[in-house]
Structure 1
């Protein structure tokens, strides 16, 4: 059994203690982090080394974005794609070398896309759609069992947000974004593990705004995802989201997801 987790940590240096607590309590074999917000030489390697996650691949930049994959299982870097087409650190791929050998694990942080869902009025929204289009072209050529995880910044299903009608024109739940995400899905036949194991319309949210969560308003969205190649998806045996991290002191606005595979 191999367990793989993903978490938008919203600054790994600020929340290193929380990551260690999560690793201690949940014990995933591999953790993919997004929005680490630090350059590679400032990544807190010693914290993960002490926790037993001795294999690490980091793609970072100063102050923004950034992804990292830490593991108890040996791995090797498999690639970095600039789907943003501007040099931002938003992806890193690894291949597992120990248990689960040969599995390709892609860690991605899709852009949020700004506030206005119109590429003419909002450059960031256009960049998000182009990012997804480049991902779809990449996925169309995949020929190995692959798991792609991370902060997709899109809640595709009506039940993936607290109020479908209220959010139809809000970036992350607009029809144009969902269509782009589904083109990516169909390019490889990805299976959404979150909904394989927690079927719609069950509540399965991964993000709550800092502005509302403290008010105990359950206005969540399912922005974080774990998608598998069809053959790999048949080997997933469990999936969960760890919502208690959202109630920790000074938490990330996202919570971790964990999938277990019989590999």
Structure 2
């Protein structure tokens, strides 16, 4: 069986645990990375995950906001819970997991959304987002013959023209402004990361992982954005099989506005 990693901004893990359970029962990824868990560590639903066969759990949470968690069916080792921009927000967690004879360093990120006004001079949230992405330059795709790196998460930026429903209409909308997309792609390239969701996929093919709650009929309007990402070190691209965007999850009962992305590798 391929080794699989799912990433999902769940928008409150306790509120949407039934949806998480459905994903784990139907797709059974080896590892699940959650963002925006909105849950302090002492209230994380560890028992529910263990009941589902996910015995290995790491979390970096806080009350009511942000938060990331990584759960797995195989052992994981917590490596780091990095602080960015001198702020104690829970937005990063890295673990090490073994698959196919390789030690994989797996980064789980929740990048700040950035507010509504794309001007760092008047919007401190947007300034924070730009600074956060700049600090992500320190996260490198380390690898050698027996190791590799994977980075997943809600990175809150749709970098390419066809990662949004309308490139022209979103150029001044936070998540797709030129300052964000240019810095984001420069950071990815400088770190040696490969964008697996665009690996072998035509650049003119639309890819979305998020649909706004504001849309009266999200499926009919289909005004999506690719805010969730899967990257890897170059030595894992030959082992990358495919990925699935679970679009139907946007229509589940009381859904997140993001949907799961599941990446599969030729690793056991």
Q: Choose the corresponding residue for 2:251, options 240, 247, 250.
A: 247
Deviation at 1:200, TM superposition (A): 2.2
CA deviation map 1:99-126 (0-9, x unaligned): 5641010000000011111110101111
2:29 corresponds to which residue? 28
Contact 1:137 1:187 in 2 (8 A): no
Q: How does 1:1-263 map to 2 (within 5 A)?
A: 1-97=2-98, 101-139=102-140, 142-143=142-143, 145-212=148-215, 214=217, 216-263=220-267
Partners in 1 of 2:232 and 2:15 — Cα distance?
31
Deviation at 1:129, TM superposition (A): 0.7
Structure 2, unmatched stretches of 5+, are: none
Is 179-188 or 9-18 further displaced after alignment?
Answer: 179-188
Deviation at 1:186, TM superposition (A): 1.6
Distance 1:53 1:99, change over 3 A: farther
Is 92-101 or 58-67 further displaced after alignment?
Answer: 92-101
Contact 1:2 1:100 in 2 (8 A): no
- SS of the equivalent of 1:146 reads strand
Q: Provide TM-score, normalisation by structure 2.
A: 0.94
CA deviation map 1:159-199 (0-9, x unaligned): 11001100000000000001111121122221111111543
Deviation at 1:127, TM superposition (A): 0.7
Partners in 1 of 2:171 and 2:106 — Cα distance?
31
Partners in 1 of 2:138 and 2:79 — Cα distance?
18
C-alpha RMSD of matched pairs (Å): 1.4
Structure 1, unmatched stretches of 5+, are: none
How many residues matched? Answer: 262
Contact 2:95 2:106 in 1 (8 A): yes
Partners in 1 of 2:73 and 2:237 — Cα distance?
22
- SS of the equivalent of 2:180 reads helix
Detail structure 1 runs of 4+ shifted over 6 Å in the superposition.
none
- SS of the equivalent of 2:103 reads coil
Contact 2:140 2:192 in 1 (8 A): no
Partners in 1 of 2:181 and 2:88 — Cα distance?
25
Contact 1:76 1:97 in 2 (8 A): no
Partners in 1 of 2:101 and 2:215 — Cα distance?
40
